[in-house]
Amino acid sequence: MNPLLQYILLLRAKKRLKTKSGNQAILKRQIVTELRKGHVEFVHSVKEIIFISAGVLSAGFGLNGFLLPNQFIDGGATGVSLLLQVFSNISLGLLLIIVNLPFIILGARTIGNVFAIKSIIAITALAIAVHFIPYPIITEDKLLIAFFGGFFLGLGIGMTMRGGGVIDGTEVLAIYLSRKWHMTVGDIILLINIVIFSVGAYLLSMETALYAILTYLIAAKTVNYIVDGVEEYIGVTIISKKNEEIRLMLTNKMGKACTIYHGKQGYDKPNRERANFEIVYTVLTRLEIAKLSTEIDKIDRNAFIVMDQVKDIKGGMIKRKPMQ
């Protein structure tokens, strides 16, 4: 059911409940719970619409304001569309839909129908924006075109991904192939773009291909900033005999939450039982890692520390990521 419609119906149900006598308290609690769920779904749907709309407008600006008028290309499905547009009279908007359609069908099979629907809407909206919105041509300087064209295109892709869809289906193909070929998604995307840039160098010029690589790198970095946040989060696992002092340092001195869980030594020593110990786990931004290392060294220079990149977090005693 549409979240907005569900929200309205539940509001009416709550109103009816208040007007009737003899309703049980448990029924009221259930309706209030459903109301909360409907409200959350409604708010998330609005946020997704805002993200996708902003992404479409930004990507359209990058394409029409920088790349397309100067016959620049990019990586991925967008790059293929730009390359085809240079050598044909077909509208870029139509090419975006045609090139991305197979990837969206694949996404419906591998990720889900909701993702596919959002992506179809986003790509169609981008096609309409590119075809009908009269974006101004900003500059003819090739370096500025590569930089800012890649930035606005990457901003649009990242915002759309925040909204739960895509306007470039290459990543869907990369996810699918990574399961078949046992390669990372990043490696497959790199291989796809090497093919695209090689074709661009052959059909256009080596200079155009080199600028295209620069455009792609800037767009990819911008996508990472938008999706993962400017500040990367790091999960830190600390094993130390002085775990209590480390816990107090994290909570009292650094103001961070942490989790304590129990572990057991895996290495067998002759005539000795494997020791039990407590493990400290916390999450910080990359900018705080240096301070954490210093504080841990003050307590236990022999502490065993494992750090892992955390893609996203929610709740807890840590600063929220931008655009969350």
Q: What angle do CA 124, 128, 126 make, to 5 degrees?
A: 55
Contact assessment for residue 116 and residue 107, using Cβ atoms and an 8 Å cutoff: yes
45: its two tokens:
């749907």
Other CB atoms within a 10 A radius of the CB of residue 318 amount to 18
Asked whether residue 62 carries a pLDDT value surpassing 90, the answer given is: yes
Q: What angle do CA 285, 287, 289 make, to 5 degrees?
A: 80
Which pLDDT score, from 0 to 100, does residue 321 have?
A: 42
Instruction: Work out the pLDDT band at 185, boundaries 50, 70, 90.
Output: low
**Would you list the domain boundaries of the chain?**
45-228, 233-310
Percentage of the chain modeled with pLDDT above 90? 24
Environment class of 69 (CB within 10 Å of its CB; exposed 0-12, middle 13-18, buried 19+):
middle
Residue with tokens 């809407």, as numbered in its chain: 121
**pTM as predicted:** 0.71
Q: What is the pLDDT of residues 271-314, one digit of tens each?
A: 777 788 899 999 987 768 888 988 999 899 899 999 988 866 66
Asked whether residue 7 carries a pLDDT value surpassing 70, the answer given is: no
Which pLDDT score, from 0 to 100, does residue 16 have?
A: 52
Which pLDDT score, from 0 to 100, does residue 223 have?
A: 84
| Amino acid in position 26 | I
The stretch 57-71 carries a mean pLDDT of 90
> Alpha helix (H) ranges present in the chain?
3-19, 25-62, 76-86, 92-110, 113-132, 142-162, 170-181, 185-203, 206-228, 243-248, 289-299
Select the more confidently predicted residue: 85 or 35: 85
The stretch 98-111 carries a mean pLDDT of 87
Asked whether residue 66 carries a pLDDT value surpassing 80, the answer given is: yes
Other CB atoms within a 10 A radius of the CB of residue 63 amount to 28
Contact assessment for residue 268 and residue 199, using Cβ atoms and an 8 Å cutoff: no
Asked whether residue 108 carries a pLDDT value surpassing 60, the answer given is: yes
Asked whether residue 317 carries a pLDDT value surpassing 60, the answer given is: no
Topology (CATH level 3) of domain 233-310: Alpha-Beta Plaits (3.30.70)
Collapsing DSSP states into helix, strand and coil, what is residue 296? helix
Q: What is the pLDDT of residues 14-56, one digit of tens each?
A: 555 554 444 566 666 777 776 776 777 788 888 889 999 999 9
Q: What is the pLDDT of residues 254-271, one digit of tens each?
A: 888 899 999 888 777 777
Which pLDDT score, from 0 to 100, does residue 228 have?
A: 67
124: its two tokens:
């169609």
Asked whether residue 114 carries a pLDDT value surpassing 50, the answer given is: yes
Q: How far apart are CA 156 and CA 148, in angstroms?
A: 12
DSSP H/E element including 182: none
